[in-house]
Chains A and B, each alone.
Chain A
Amino acid sequence: MVMVTKVPPRPAPARRALRLLLATGVTATSLLAVPATAQAEDEKSGGSTLTVAVSQSVDSLSPFLAQKLVSTSVHRLAYEYLTNYDVKDAHPIPGLATEWKASPDKLTWTYTIREDSFWSDGRQATAEDAAWTFNKMMTDPDAATANGSFTANFRKVSAPDPRTLVIELKQPQATMTALDVPIVPKHVWEKVTDFSKFNNDQRFPIVGNGPFVITDFKVDQYIKLKPNKRFWRGAPKFDELVFKYYKDGDAAVAALQKGEVSFVPNLTPAQANALKTQKNIRVNDAPGRRFYALAANPGARAKDGTAFGNGHKALLDPEVRKALFLAVDRTTLVRKVFQDHAVEGEGYIPPRFSSYFWKPAAEQKRSYDPARAERILDAAGYRKNAEGRRLGKDGKPIDLRILCHATDPNDKASAKYLQEWWGRLGIGLKVDCLDSVSDPWGKGDYDLAFDGWSVNPDPDYVLSIHTCGTLPATPKDTGATDNFICDRQFDSLYARQAVEYDAATRSDLVRQMQSRLYDTGYMNVLAYPNALEAYRTDQIASITTMPEAAGNLWGQDGYWSWWSAVPAAASSDGGSGGSSTGVIVTIGAAAVAVLGLVVFLGLRRRSTADDRE
């Protein structure tokens, strides 16, 4: 899933590890540790450095394994893909391939590889490299881990000459101009023996042909990149690009205020509002490419038909799902939880992708209507008992569980609202906030879950994860499936859109798929969160968003933001520092910490010094 990333963007385990480190025994000392970590900054060498605060851990630097947003963003910078997305409207534009054409039967695609792309060790990038990359993914299942969905339908890939790449397909494939697969240098990668274990993080610089070259990497500390001076589109303007780890959002913001980092993504509304008024800082608040949804367990099962997991039986009833989501007030969630930095959720694909965006018609839409929800439940035979609890078909009160990401404040906040709304229906909700939800999720041990994906200009992938084909082979396996949805009607539409080359027909099919998904009630999009990010204008003179008008900077579909960033002429060091209230907060926290520590230590000393008779 090079193109999509599961929310939350912050990986749970690593963040937790840091938080545990922060656990010094007294609550407030943890607060103090925040500015302290921000000050630990490495020396800036001469020249301009663009420092980006990140929090998500790298899963792997191998393009064959990497699925997390931070890793795939780095790969966008370090490797060329056959095609790229236009910065204005995301239509496919030349990347490593300068042009492409399909045979009349659309089963043979011929790409012309550019002559002016060189690997950072000096060798020329050729069609041979591309052919080797695809063939490896087709023959070695380990190499197909991350992007196998693109090559599953390939019959044969060959390079008749260094400038020509020919891909033959089993069936037509709509994603042929959106193959998000990093092309790797054959002469380096053919030495790799085990693709499941090779993480590409031992020898630096890493040979690549993108706008940047990865020069150094330390787990959860930094990823350093230098510009590729020979990059065919032109070398980037900054002398160095550093992705620096801040596991704490407030620490990253403090670093931005001090000028230690140039860019911070994933701000909270309060942080964005506070930064908006500060000198030399620009806040970018743009429509995002993510959706934020409520997934209901449709009864997890494997491809072999075995049902597993312990999803609540009541959720298998479409009327219950319908009633539950009629009682969810999405406008309130957008206003309160996202504080208007989001758009109310409707269809599966965010409105930013206008050609595929779909929204339910008035009679199809599940608008907020708790009274109707009550009526539906009553009519379906779920009666309230004397205590006002709704009883299931088995006569027991319905108590649902919801999986929430402990690292995502939005999950917790939304869960509070759901608890109250559904409580009024007489349905209990237990909130299970976990650092890593993937374990119960994969086992099907959930009733409801907060879910979300970043959507690419081509929606094939985010649609594919709801098809029967992605279910795990047996209950023990893991599948690419998101929520164990397996719906014949959805699948047949998916198959039709995958082979449809006519853009209008395809987008109509994709809209029908979304309509079907909406009606099943298994995926309920609550909101499309905005991208909230900030950068220092005294370090970055200009930077390109994608789309150029009102777009995001972090997690783009191309390398545009970092490639286009221009250093500010006179980069003044250090900013205004924290505001005076910030100082007061720090002093207050320090006082509390000292007080707490005194109490704590005094008590410790005494309780051990006692010797009684």
Chain B
Amino acid sequence: MTSEPYVTAAALARRRRRASLARFWHRYRAHRAGLWGLAGLTLIGLVALTAPLTVGADVQSVTNAPGTALASPSAEFPLGTDQFGRSLLGLLIWGARISLLVGLLAASLSVAIGTLVGILAGHYGGWFSTVVMRVTDWFLVMPALVLAIVLATVMSRSVWTVVLAIGVTSWPTTARLVRAQTIAVESRPYIERATALGGGDGHVMTRHVLPNVMPLVLAQTTLGISTAILTEATLAFLGLGDPTVVSWGGMLQDAREAGAVSSGHWWYLAPPGIAIALVALAFTLCGRAVESVLNPKLGVGR
């Protein structure tokens, strides 16, 4: 940091960011659970991304299904087949795409809404904040799942409906956290200086508050994804997902409708359930590690 004397501001900023990223990674590495979570996520992410190459979209096709109905695991179908004769391993891999996609999108939507509401409420304060926070409280006390079910029921069955239903119901926690952080940031003297120099509301919110709440938002997103994936699976299991799209929750629902529970077809039921649990676990581990790196007050033990 003490090298060439003539550097541009942009280069300086870049270097600072790189350094802080390195510092972040250094601290993150200290969290073994976080590393496990990251490794798991990388693996699942790779499997999902390479699915078109490994199993191909054809795995969803019912008319070209290769196997017989509800076959038990064999060399050809390591996890057996579903009632249409499709390979369950292939469906599990293909289903990861939808589950992850919905999880990511829904969590992003939820955090985006939460951040917007939180920053606005924290920045403007006064009656505006009171009104917005009461709305937030209302969403907070509403059982999110029930609300999501209602939304998914009244709208048409599609992946986007599920994303929307989850996103719209799970933002209040983020909003509250971001609002608190916004108030804390805005009480610092440099904000006062920025205002004195002519910085408007927009400038303060986007240039000073937003960068300061970003770490919090990042941690919240990572944690939110696992909730979103669980909720997506729940909605699909309840038959509120798009029936023509293969997802893990949808597979559980198909298994139940085929009578897999009473006929003891564990290979149909267990893999999607375990997959959901593992992905949710991986995201939670990562999220916690990120959180404790960014917030030393949480202690080192975690």
- Give the B-binding residues of A (Cβ under 8 A): 19-20, 22-23, 25-28, 30-31, 34, 249-250, 253-254, 257, 267-271, 273-274, 332, 336, 339, 404, 406-407, 409, 412-413, 415-417, 419-421, 431-433, 435, 578-582, 584-585, 588-589, 592, 595-596, 599-600, 602-603, 606-608, 610-613
Contact = CB atoms under 8 A, between A and B. Distances in A.
B264 A603 contact: no
B239 A612 contact: no
A406 B260 CA distance: 18
Contacts of A273: 263
Q: Which 3 A-B pairs have the closest CB atoms?
A: A581-B264, A274-B263, A271-B259
25 contacts: A23-B146, A27-B234, A28-B252, A28-B273, A253-B259, A268-B259, A270-B260, A274-B264, A332-B63, A336-B65, A409-B257, A415-B244, A419-B244, A420-B61, A431-B244, A578-B264, A582-B264, A585-B266, A596-B276, A596-B280, A599-B277, A602-B284, A607-B173, A612-B181, A613-B184
A612 B270 contact: no
Contact of B220 (A26, A417, A579, A607): A607
Contact of A420 (B63, B184, B239): B63
Given A27-B233, A250-B262, A268-B257, A433 B239 contact: yes
Given A20-B149, A27-B233, A589-B269, A582 B262 contact: yes
Contacts of A270: 70, 83, 258-260, 263, 265
B49 interface: no
A31 B256 contact: yes
Contact of A596 (B62, B181, B230, B261): B230
B284 A612 contact: no
A30 B177 contact: no
A421 B62 CA distance: 10
Nearest to B70: A270
Contacts of B269: 31, 585, 588-589
B276 A592 contact: yes
B193 to A, nearest CB: 20
A23 B145 contact: yes
A599 to B, nearest CB: 5
Contacts of A589: 269-270, 273
B87 interface: no
Contacts of B116: none
Nearest to B176: A608
A269 B69 CA distance: 10
Interface residues of B, number: 61
Contacts of A28: 252, 273
Nearest to A609: B298
B31 interface: no
Nearest to A22: B238
B230 A600 contact: yes
A34 B281 contact: no
A432 B133 CA distance: 37
Nearest to B69: A339
Contacts of B273: 27-28, 31, 588-589, 592
B264 A25 contact: no
B94 interface: no
A249 B184 contact: no
B223 interface: yes
Contact of B62 (A26, A274, A407, A416): A416
Nearest to B264: A581
Contacts of B260: 270
Contact of B177 (A254, A584, A610): A610
Interface string B195-223: 00000000000000000000010001001
B42 interface: no
Contacts of B84: 336, 413, 416
Contacts of A19: 238-239
Contacts of B227: 600, 603
A38 to B, nearest CB: 10
Contact of B259 (A249, A412, A420): A249
Interface in B280-302: 280-281, 284, 287-288, 291, 295, 297
A579 B264 CA distance: 7
B237 interface: yes
Nearest to B144: A25
B149 A432 contact: no
Contacts of B256: 31, 250
B243 interface: yes
A271 B223 contact: no
B130 to A, nearest CB: 21
A585 B264 contact: yes
Contacts of A271: 259, 262-263
Given A254-B261, A270-B265, A588-B273, 10 more contacts: A27-B230, A27-B249, A34-B261, A269-B83, A274-B263, A336-B65, A421-B63, A581-B266, A603-B227, A612-B295
B108 interface: no
Contacts of B27: none
Contact of A336 (B85, B223, B277, B287): B85
Contacts of A415: 243-244
Given A336-B85, A612-B295, A432 B270 contact: no
A612 B180 contact: yes
Contacts of B145: 23, 25
A433 B242 CA distance: 8
B217 to A, nearest CB: 11
B169 interface: no
A612 B257 contact: no
Given A339-B69, A433-B239, A592-B273, A274 B181 contact: no
Contacts of B297: 612-613
A610 to B, nearest CB: 6
Residue of B234, B249, B252, B265 ringed by the most chain A CB atoms within 10 A? B234
B243 A433 contact: yes
A148 to B, nearest CB: 34
B222 to A, nearest CB: 10
A506 B92 CA distance: 55
Contact of A406 (B239, B252, B281): B239
B276 A27 contact: yes
B136 interface: no
Contacts of B295: 610, 612
Contacts of A412: 243, 257
B265 to A, nearest CB: 7
B238 A23 contact: yes
A607 B273 CA distance: 24
Contacts of A610: 177, 291, 295
Contacts of A611: 180
B274 interface: yes
Contact of B281 (A249, A339, A599): A599
A30 B237 contact: yes
A579 B149 CA distance: 34
B185 to A, nearest CB: 9
B62 A612 contact: no
A224 to B, nearest CB: 26
A602 B226 CA distance: 11
B54 interface: no
A355 to B, nearest CB: 35
